[in-house]
Amino acid sequence: MRKNIVAGNWKMNNGLIQTKTLITELKQQKQTSDAEVMIAPSFTNLWHAFEETRQYPIEVVAQNMHFSDDGAYTGEISAGMLKSIGISTVILGHSERRTYYNETDEALAKKVDTALSQEIRVIFCFGEELADRKSGKHESIVENQIKKGLFHLKADAFKDVILAYEPVWAIGTGETASPEQAQDMHAFIRKTLANKYGQEVANSVSILYGGSVKPNNAKEIFSKTDVDGGLIGGAALNAEDFYAIVNAF
Ligand code: 13P
């Protein structure tokens, strides 16, 4: 069955010193929920974070990777490089990467294939913009992103795929989707999966919500049937806030 997961996406925050401090603080927090906990520091701090959390129930994951195994791609990081330092999960398709670095559905489908072929789990992100929601196109936009990024996969591959619905208008804005909006979309996502792969696969995939999840709203959002956790930005940079969210289950 699907798991509850809370993943902290640190984005482009925290140098080595801040990373050390935050990890020390994270290790001091008490976990009272059964959620899988993940943190995604920047590439330069992955190794340190991995080493420091070895004995703790915190998985260190990457924020991105390239679709090629190696070669002349200056500034890029491959799946093999991530694996070589013990990383076994990667976030792909975050809206900031889609928007600022023109990551297309096609490129993301290739990244998904590369990650899975190297036995790296994927947290696949998608979500609509405000204009899409206002014009009632949010479901078709999300359906399209999922189909183009993932529907070439065989059913069996979904054991290594986690979905993250992040409405762009809720990211870093302080405005969250209401728990009902999140539930409606998550149920729609699960139905989309079920239509293609069957109910068993759909029920086995964790679907996270991301977008201004904070200690004061996490409980209500996570209480919804089809919400299996969160992808947390700003609140993941503070150890107490992050664990208040982890423990909101
Ligand atoms: P915020 O929690 O800061 O809105 O960020 C959400 C996000 O983009 C996580 O990937």
Q: What angle do CA 91, 97, 101 make, to 5 degrees?
A: 140
Tokens of 149: 């990024």
Count other C-beta atoms under 10 Å from residue 155's C-beta.
Answer: 13
Distance CA(245)–CA(229), nearest Å, equals 9
What's the confidence (pLDDT) of residue 54? 95
Q: For the chain (length 249 residues), average pLDDT per consecutive 10?
A: 95 98 98 98 98 97 98 98 98 97 97 98 97 95 98 98 96 89 98 98 98 96 98 98 98
Is residue 94 part of the annotated active site? The answer reads yes
- Please tell me if the CB atom of residue 231 comes closer than 6 angstroms to any atom of ligand 1: yes
Is residue 139 part of the annotated active site? The answer reads no
What's the confidence (pLDDT) of residue 172? 87
Distance CA(190)–CA(139), nearest Å, equals 12
Catalytic residue among 59, 96, 128, 166: 166
Q: Which atom of ligand 1 is nearest to the CA of 11?
A: 10
> How far from 185 is each of 77, 83, 166, CA to CA, in Å?
32, 33, 10
151 within 8 A of 119, measured Cβ to Cβ: no
Among 100, 213, 246, which is best to mutate for testing ligand 1, by the most ligand atoms less than 8 A from CB?
Answer: 213
- Strand 121-126 vs strand 207-210: parallel, antiparallel, or unpaired? unpaired
Q: Burial letters for 112-142: b for 16+ Cβ neighbours within 10 Å, e otherwise?
A: bebbbebebbbbbbbbbbeebbeeeebbebb
SS3 at position 20? helix
